[in-house]
Structure 1
Amino acid sequence: MKKLLLLVTVLLPFFHEITGSLKIFLNNALYENKTSLTISDPAIIRCEVADNTENETLIWYRGTLEVNISSENSVNVSTVCIPELTVEDNGVSFTCLLKSNTSIKRSLQLDVQFNPRLSGDTQIRAEEGKTVQISCGFKANPAASMFWRQNNSLFTLPANYKQDLTMDTLQLTIEKVTKKDTANYTCVALLPNGNETTRVFELIVGDRQVGLPIEAIAAAVVVGALMIAFGMFARREKIFNMCMKGRHDTAM
């Protein structure tokens, strides 16, 4: 009998761990897959314990950081509220776990839809012959097609133009710019539904400023110093005699 009681005592924690399961809800709908939300809308995420034999404490994580919730909001049912979704909430995962057994958990990832947002300095000045880079930063969900227009028209990139596209930047590089490259360059973000967002960058190319080469200036300074030194050396005897005469007159 004692052995049986001991066996039950040992196994009880394991029975407790495997009897609980979790359900997670997003805006009162059972969350199964990735669900799209709209920026600026609120989001209510609720986690519930199911099939439990006693009260369970729940904990939340936003990404890798634990969410601070009250004790009243942690027993069997727990809710996390986001009053207004932002761009920074897109792609963020929320995870609900049983405190007694953190291997039992459910997660959801926020898919926040928003129109493209473009950024970057809109006026660029350059000298002829220089290399210019026009950078257009962007964020969009769903993903947008990114491209350039020149003076509001599509154009074929000349040989000295190069376009680079990263996850968040569309960059146009122009080597050896001339005044003919002066124009408005429009960064275009085109959504699958045909809507587009634009940002205009004004490139102004001016005359190349001519400056004296550093090597020439340095050489002139050296030559000038040598000429002064040679001049003083050539007049050293006269200067010496003048100094000696001055000393003699003072002694008198």
Structure 2
Amino acid sequence: MKNYLIVLAALLPLLPQVTGLHLLLNNVTYDNRHTANLNDPVNLRCEVVDNINDASLIWYRGTQQVDIKSENSVNVSNICIPELTIEDNGVSFTCLLKQNTSMKLSLQMDVRFPPILTGETKIMAEEGKTVQITCGFQANPAAAIFWRQNNGLFTLPSRYKQDMTTDTLQLTIDKATKQDSANYTCVALSQGNETIRVIQLIVGDRQPGLPVGAIAAAVVVGALIIAFGMFARRDKVFRACKKSQNETAM
């Protein structure tokens, strides 16, 4: 019993450190979300609270460790993001206690930006061929995406098929005709604002292909030329070998 009390007395000074030690990330003690606009600066501050001895901190951006100076890692650590980018959207910045990485806090970035549309602005196609018009988009918050034809809403004909993924809107036209030539406008609506990208489609005459008979004749002629060439070379090589044998016999 006496030995137990001695051990307990030795551990008592450590109890506040074990039970009270915690982290603050931007002054909160729980995982959080930070909303800001594109190109805004962001400062992150992580602090060890109720520690008795110096504690080291480390940072991660997603799964990659952030390189910070040693003097910026003891008890308090700061990270500055000069300008938020689209790539920062949805990424978590995590502060961890180096001595015990299970003690950590994360801040997820919610980067707001208007719709950004990408894709070709001019497409040349042939009559009778399948045409694909693709509009890439990014937006936060999410935007409503749709097509206009010659600046007006239109009902998709049966030859038209529309597909949407998380970041593309695609219009497929089967057996395109010259009447399909038009300006197709990709429209993104977000928070009452409209962003557009105009894609010009020009459907021209179908290019004549080579006749099947002409292709077959060309193949036959090519094969004959190769065969005659091989035969002529064989005869030349045979004569050269024969001459060499006669010289050896002499």
TM-score category (smaller protein): 0.7 to 0.9
Shift of 1:173: 0.6
> What one-letter code is carried by the residue in structure 2 that aligns with 1:96?
C
Cα distance in 2 for partners of 1:151, 1:112 equals 33
Residue in structure 2 matching 1:212, options 187, 210, 213: 210
Q: Which sits farther off after the overlay, 113-122 or 8-17?
A: 8-17
Shift of 1:185: 0.3
Cα distance in 1 for partners of 2:223, 2:7 equals 103
* Preserved CA contact (<8 Å) 2:122 2:200: yes
Cα distance in 1 for partners of 2:15, 2:107 equals 27
Cα distance in 1 for partners of 2:31, 2:99 equals 24
* Cα 1:4/1:175, change in 2 over 3 Å: same
Shift of 1:7: 6.5
| 1:21 counterpart = 2:19 | no
> What one-letter code is carried by the residue in structure 1 that aligns with 2:193?
N
| 1:47 counterpart = 2:46 | yes
Q: Who is 1:164 aligned against?
A: 163
Shift of 1:226: 10
Cα distance in 1 for partners of 2:72, 2:222 equals 83
Shift of 1:211: 1.5
Cα distance in 2 for partners of 1:87, 1:226 equals 59
Deviations 1:129-165 (A, max 9, x none): 0001111111110000110000000111000101111
Cα distance in 1 for partners of 2:210, 2:126 equals 16
* Preserved CA contact (<8 Å) 2:127 2:177: yes
Q: Who is 1:203 aligned against?
A: 201
Which segments of 5 or more consecutive residues in structure 2 lack a partner in the other structure?
Answer: 226-250
Shift of 1:49: 1.3
> What one-letter code is carried by the residue in structure 1 that aligns with 2:25?
I
Alignment of 1:182-197 (within 5 A): 182-191=181-190, 193-197=191-195
Cα distance in 2 for partners of 1:19, 1:30 equals 12
Shift of 1:212: 1.3
| Paired-residue identity, % | 62
Q: Who is 2:131 aligned against?
A: 132
Shift of 1:53: 2.4
Cα distance in 2 for partners of 1:68, 1:161 equals 52
Root mean square deviation of aligned Cα: 2.6
* Cα 1:103/1:12, change in 2 over 3 Å: farther
Cα distance in 2 for partners of 1:222, 1:168 equals 47
Which segments of 5 or more consecutive residues in structure 1 lack a partner in the other structure?
Answer: 229-252
Cα distance in 1 for partners of 2:224, 2:81 equals 79
* Preserved CA contact (<8 Å) 1:17 1:100: no
* Cα 1:88/1:224, change in 2 over 3 Å: closer
> What one-letter code is carried by the residue in structure 1 that aligns with 2:218?
V
* Cα 1:224/1:86, change in 2 over 3 Å: closer
Q: TM-score, normalised by structure 2?
A: 0.81
> What one-letter code is carried by the residue in structure 1 that aligns with 2:135?
C
Shift of 1:64: 0.4
Shift of 1:70: 1.0
SS of the aligned residue for 1:219 comes to helix
Cα distance in 2 for partners of 1:127, 1:206 equals 5
* Preserved CA contact (<8 Å) 1:17 1:101: no
SS of the aligned residue for 1:85 comes to coil
Q: TM-score, normalised by structure 1?
A: 0.80
SS of the aligned residue for 1:79 comes to strand
Deviations 1:213-252 (A, max 9, x none): 3x42343236668999xxxxxxxxxxxxxxxxxxxxxxxx
* Cα 1:101/1:127, change in 2 over 3 Å: same
Shift of 1:43: 0.3
- Deviating beyond 3 angstroms after TM superposition, the runs of 4 or more aligned structure 1 residues are 1-19, 28-33, 221-228
* Preserved CA contact (<8 Å) 1:44 1:79: yes
